[in-house]
Amino acid sequence: MVRVRAAVLPAVGSPLEIAGIDLPEPGPGQVRVRLAAAGVCHSDLSLSDGTMRVPVPAVLGHEGAGTVVSVGEGVTHVAPGDGVVLNWAPACGSCHACGLGEVWLCGNALTGAGEVYARRSDGTDLHPGLNVAAFAEETVVAAACVLPVPDGVPLTDAALLGCAVLTGYGAVHHAARVREGETVAVFGAGGVGLAALQAARIAGAGRIVAVDVSPAKEDLARAAGATDYVVASDTTARAIRKLTGGNGVDVAVECVGRAVTIRTAWESTRRGGRTTVVGIGGKDQQVTFNALELFHWGRTLSGCVYGNSDPAVDLPVLAEHVRAGRLDLGALVTDRIGLDDIPAAFENMVAGKGGRALVVF
Given this model, what pLDDT does residue 52 score? 84
Give the right CATH number for 2-162+328-360 from 3.40.920.10, 3.40.50.720, 3.40.50.11540, 3.90.180.10.
3.90.180.10
Q: Where are the domains of the chain?
A: 2-162+328-360, 168-305
Return the pLDDT at 313: 95
Residue 354: predicted pLDDT: 67
Per-residue b/e over 280-319, b at no fewer than 16 CB within 10 Å? bbeeeeeeeeeeeeeeebebebeebbbbbbbbeebbeebb
The 10s digit of each residue's pLDDT in 46-97 is 888 888 888 999 999 999 999 999 999 999 999 999 999 999 999 999 999 9
Tell me the residue type at 54. Answer: V
Q: pLDDT below 50 — which residues of the chain? A: none
Question: E-strand spans in the chain?
Answer: 2-9, 17-23, 30-40, 58-59, 63-71, 83-86, 118-120, 125-126, 138-142, 146-148, 184-187, 208-212, 228-231, 249-254, 269-277, 300-303, 333-337, 356-360
3-state secondary structure of 262: helix
- Structural domain 168-305, CATH architecture: 3-Layer(aba) Sandwich (3.40)
φ, ψ dihedrals at 304, nearest 5°: -150, 120
